[in-house]
Amino acid sequence: MPIRARADRSLVRAGARSRRVVRVDVTAPEAAQGAERPRLALSLVLDRSGSMEGKKIELAREAAVSAIRSLGERDRFAVVVYDHRVDVLQAAVDASAQSVDAAARTIERVEALGSTDLHGGWEAGCREAFGSISDQRLARVLLLSDGLANHGLTDRGEIARRASERRLSGVTTSTFGIGADYDEGLLSSMAEAGGGNFRYVATAGEIPRYVSDEMSEVLALSLPEAEIEVRGPEGLEVECPNEFPVRRVDGAFHVAIGSLVSEQRLSLLLDVRFPQAPEGDALPVRLGLRSRGEPAGGEPVDLVFTVAGHEANDRQPADEEVQRERARVEEKRSLRKALELNRDGDYRGAAAVAVKAAEQLLLYAPGNPEVEAISGRLGEEAEKVSREMNPVTRKLLHAGAYYSIKGRAVRGTTVIRSRFRTMTTARLDLIPALEEAAEAYRAAPVQSFGGYPDLFVEWPLPEPPDARAPLTASDEDLLASEVRVLWRPDQIPVTVVFTSRPLAGAAPWHWHEDLCVAIASTAGLCAPGGVSPSAFVAYQTFLHGLRERGIVPEEMTHPEDRGCLYDPCTTREGLERALSTATFCDECRQVLERAGLFPEPALSIADVIRSLAGAAAGGVN
């Protein structure tokens, strides 16, 4: 079923305009084997202002050339560059080999100079894309910038409004903020209103990768221009806390959730406010999925809310998971707003946003300890945003909040349905290993772990005086609890948290049964020339991810080394040997076979671990 929905409460208050929170879970259909993807009209808009000089403009040129070379001959493309002037380097043209080669040569001559007419450059790109729209062709503008809009139209709200108008005309906008100086409020609001994606590119060296991520999504769409349609009684009002655009058309509310790729999973919340009605009335709400204005398959979901008196409303049980999700989204939404005010120098206003949100959460779900914890965290964030912040830290926090609100993983990548639903997370120092392991799993011929990486933007533990100090039991409990505030167990049954600090007893991992969270340590295992960090991440993902199928590593691990992935691996040498051979002994193979996991996906999992371990050693075994 492509869409599911559930509400925090089913009763609404008689004689009042009650608000209820509805969580909607969407899974995009798998693209049919051999099916033609929608044709694309792509406009690349590159900032060539003076601040892009050097490595930034060089890698932006490289990313742009790579993007147009990834197109097919049925697609069209245009290239626009801007500083204080706007130049259309390549007007919209079919993506033939000849036109791509000619455009690539032109792009390679672009140099950085001047100020920044961001709106003018983007608008020119939109015009080129709009001219190529058809029933069979989608239009998307990719805007890369490292700075501010300081020439031409510069008002954030007006530019976002125009991005919304362009979205309604069929042109989607995705934005890339590069470095520490761009206006995160402007670029994220343009992408949000424009129906596309926003990505924070911390360094110039990451530009090609982020543009490649975006192009991979654009070329793998299975549900273009998707919307959730909501119908209900007269007087119903609908808002989306995830800040997807909402508009009312012919008595129904349409929530524009963007274009979804094959098997993408997306969860969002709706704040539904009901009209006043007499006690005993039933108020039906119907939710359906649409794509490009047409029903997108699957039956709509019907929820029925009953009007009841005050006493019944006060007694009704609440869905605590939906409440927690609403609190988490509100935390990220208010943090995002506070960080944008902080950037503008309004420190008092930034703190006030966070404090007000913290107070409102306590009123929304009184007595819910997880919501109270989120409220408390917002209070701490209010103190941080009340003073000048490091620009890089602020942008990292802002991007993390934006991705969380939009249901995306680190780097703004999509969350894809996979055979096992295992989350890996860490702080920044281990994120490259998580990304490498996740990409290896995604590239495997037999899918096992979607393995999308995510991170704690703010690591919830204080830094110890000695980084080699082991995590205490209370430290681990805090980490595991924090995970379950961030990610719901119904969607992420198993989470593995990686740390470079050692664990008590020098154990490579500890399992927290009550929360279904593993804490795994790379300390002493991933020294230079030793075990590959990405191989260790892939191994731990496998070890704990199979718990979802009843394969418990504590029961599978044998006391002696057999050259098997279920060897004890208590030393670095033993771990290195197990990962580089990555096989299963006869006994373990039989257990996996009975569980329906051998030969596949077990052999593909072993291949991923072996290849990552072999690559670190200088070759693949």
202-240: per-residue pLDDT in tens? 888 888 888 888 888 888 888 899 999 999 999 999 999
pLDDT at 432: 80
Mean pLDDT, range 470-497, rounded to an integer = 79
The DSSP letter of residue 57 is H
CA-to-CA dists, residue 585 to 563, 594, 621, angstroms:
7, 14, 18
Tokens of 378: 């917002």
DSSP H or E run through 178: strand 171-178
Q: Kindly report the CA angle at 218 between 216 and 222, in degrees rounded to 5? A: 105
Mean pLDDT, range 59-71, rounded to an integer = 92
Q: Which residues contact 183 (CB under 8 A, 6 or more apart)?
A: 147, 148, 149, 156, 177, 343
DSSP H or E run through 438: helix 431-443
pLDDT at 583: 94
pLDDT at 491: 62
CA-to-CA dists, residue 141 to 210, 257, 360, 546, angstroms:
15, 17, 38, 41
Q: Residues 525, 423, 245, 366: is their CA dihedral positive or negative?
A: negative
Answer yes or no: is pLDDT of 465 > 60. Answer: yes
Tokens of 341: 């005010």
Query: Could you give the percent of the chain with pLDDT greater than 70?
Result: 92
Answer yes or no: is pLDDT of 530 > 80. Answer: no
The alpha-helical segments, DSSP class H, found in 487-599 are: 533-545, 553-556, 572-581, 586-594
CB 556 within 8 A of CB 588: yes
Q: Which residues contact 329 (CB under 8 A, 6 or more apart)?
A: 241, 242, 269, 404, 405
pLDDT at 247: 95
Exposed e or buried b per residue across 109-133, where buried means at least 16 C-beta atoms within 10 angstroms of its C-beta:
ebebeebbbbbbbbbbbbbbbbebb
Say yes or no: domain 418-616 is CATH 3.30.1490. no
227: which strand partners?
256, 290
Residue 512, SS3? Answer: strand
What is the distance between the alpha carbons of residues 450 and 541, in angstroms, rounded to a whole number?
11
CB 541 within 8 A of CB 424: yes
The structure's pTM equals: 0.79
Answer yes or no: is pLDDT of 621 > 50. Answer: no
DSSP H or E run through 308: strand 301-308
What is the distance between the alpha carbons of residues 206 and 443, in angstroms, rounded to a whole number?
20
Distance of CA 188 to the CA centre of its chain: 14
Q: Residues 73, 75, 76, 80: is their CA dihedral positive or negative?
A: negative
Phi/psi-derived region of residue 243, left when phi > 0, alpha when psi is between -120 and 50, beta in every other case: left
Answer yes or no: is pLDDT of 315 > 90. Answer: yes
The DSSP letter of residue 449 is B
* Fold of domain 3-32+224-317: Immunoglobulin-like (2.60.40)
Answer yes or no: is pLDDT of 574 > 90. Answer: no
DSSP-assigned letters across all residues of 364-418:
HSTT-HHHHHHHHHHHHHHHHHTS---HHHHHHHHHHHHHHHTT--GGGPPPB--
Answer yes or no: is pLDDT of 560 > 80. Answer: yes
Exposed e or buried b per residue across 405-443, where buried means at least 16 C-beta atoms within 10 angstroms of its C-beta:
bbbbbbbbbbbbebbbbbbbbbbeebbebbbbbbbbbbe
Q: What are the two backbone dihedrals, phi and then psi, of residue 378, each rounded to the nearest 5 degrees?
A: -65, -35
pLDDT at 233: 95
Greatest pairwise CA separation for the chain in angstroms: 73
Average pLDDT, rounded, for the chain: 87
CB 88 within 8 A of CB 48: no
CA dihedral 526, 451, 177, 160 (to 10 degrees): -160
Q: Please write the tens of the pLDDT for every residue from 153-181.
A: 888 999 999 999 999 999 999 999 998 88
pLDDT tier, 7 (very low <50, low <70, confident <90, very high otherwise): very high
CA-to-CA dists, residue 205 to 55, 142, 274, 315, 396, angstroms:
8, 18, 50, 56, 17
Where is pLDDT greater, at 159 or 407? 159
pLDDT at 1: 54
pLDDT at 241: 96
Q: Which residues contact 542 (CB under 8 A, 6 or more apart)?
A: 448, 449, 565, 605, 609
pLDDT tier, 617 (very low <50, low <70, confident <90, very high otherwise): very low
CB 471 within 8 A of CB 504: yes
Q: How many CB atoms lie within 10 A of CB 445?
A: 8
What is the distance between the alpha carbons of residues 364 and 360, in angstroms, rounded to a whole number?
6
**Between 184-194 and 320-343, two packed helices, what is the crossing angle to 10 degrees?**
130
Tokens of 138: 């989608």
* Fold of domain 39-219: Rossmann fold (3.40.50)
Answer yes or no: is pLDDT of 416 > 90. Answer: no
HSE-CB of 194 using CA atoms within 13 angstroms: 29
What is the distance between the alpha carbons of residues 196 and 175, in angstroms, rounded to a whole number?
8
What is the distance between the alpha carbons of residues 215 and 237, in angstroms, rounded to a whole number?
36
Tokens of 76: 């069209």
35: which strand partners?
none
Distance of CA 587 to the CA centre of its chain: 39
- Domains of the chain, by residue range, sit at 3-32+224-317, 39-219, 321-393, 418-616
Best-predicted range by mean pLDDT (161-175, 439-453, 527-541):
161-175
